């Protein structure tokens, strides 16, 4: 099985990238960073304002360097920070760009406080016909926590 692990910013080290690398360690998935045309990670206020406007007005931001197809992947691990009590709209843009029927989507999130649950409706809707497995909030997690979760949802075999 092959898989891709998208993260939500342009390659700077981030909580989400660190979480993606923990998953990669267990699964060997390829890493891919979702990048928006308008880069808004810093400064914080610009990020906060832009992401709030996108969420409020249901704006799906344009992405750069999207893979043409995900055909070679069965499983997509989709990672993102919780922004404004939901998934960033760039993640919606990414998922809805593809026909994901027959694929498995595995969400994971980083956040200050909120659980991944509050983002799951958005992810399920954007993932269309994909099978969306139970996501994990990866926060102060040990490698073994990530491994246990992947076993629980049936991605990894119990060893």
Ligand X SMILES: Cc1cc2nc3c(=O)[nH]c(=O)nc-3n(C[C@H](O)[C@H](O)[C@H](O)COP(=O)(O)O)c2cc1C
Binding stretches for ligand X (CB under 6 A): 14-16, 44, 47-48, 51, 81-85, 110-114
Q: How far is the CB of 131 from ligand X (least distance, A)?
A: 25
Q: Provide the minimum distance between the beta carbon of 65 and ligand X in the complex, in angstroms, as a whole number.
A: 18
By beta-carbon proximity to ligand X, the closer residue of 51 and 75 is 51
Report the distance separating Cα 20 and Cα 34, nearest Å. Answer: 12
Residue ranges with strand state E in 43-103: 63-64, 75-81
CA dist., res. 93 & res. 111, Å (int): 20
Residues in the chain: 159
Which conformational region is residue 21 in: left (phi greater than 0), alpha (psi within -120 to 50 degrees), or beta?
A: alpha
Whichever of 113 and 129 has its CB closer to ligand X, that residue is: 113
User: In the bound complex, what is the minimum distance in angstroms from residue 105's beta carbon to ligand X?
Assistant: 19
Q: Are 95 and 63 in contact (CB under 8 A)?
A: no
Interatomic CA distance for residues 44 and 94, integer angstroms: 23
What's the min distance (Å) between Cβ of 53 and ligand X?
11
Residue 44 or residue 102: which is nearer to ligand X going by CB?
A: 44
Q: Which is nearer to ligand X, 43 or 102 (CB)?
A: 43
The candidate with the shortest Cα–Cα distance to 119, out of 150, 82, 93, is 82
Name the residue nearer to ligand X (CB basis): 52 or 154.
52
In the complex, the smallest distance separating the C-beta of residue 97 from ligand X, rounded to whole angstroms, is: 21
């Amino acid at each position: 099985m092959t898989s891709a692990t998208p993260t939500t910013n342009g390659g700077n080290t981030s909580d989400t990238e660190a979480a993606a690398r923990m998953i990669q360690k267990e699964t060997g998935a390829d890493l891919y960073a979702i990048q928006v045309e308008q880069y808004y990670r810093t400064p914080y206020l610009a990020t906060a304002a832009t992401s709030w406007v996108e969420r409020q007005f249901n704006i799906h931001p344009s992405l750069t360097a999207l893979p043409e197809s995900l055909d070679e992947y069965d499983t997509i691990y989709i990672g993102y920070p919780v922004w404004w009590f939901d998934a960033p709209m760039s993640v919606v843009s990414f998922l809805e760009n593809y026909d994901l029927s027959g694929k498995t989507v595995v969400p994971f999130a980083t956040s200050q406080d909120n659980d991944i649950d509050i983002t799951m409706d958005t992810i399920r809707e954007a993932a269309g016909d994909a099978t969306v497995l139970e996501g994990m909030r990866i926060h102060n997690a040990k490698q073994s926590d990530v491994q246990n979760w992947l076993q629980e949802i049936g991605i990894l075999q119990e060893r």
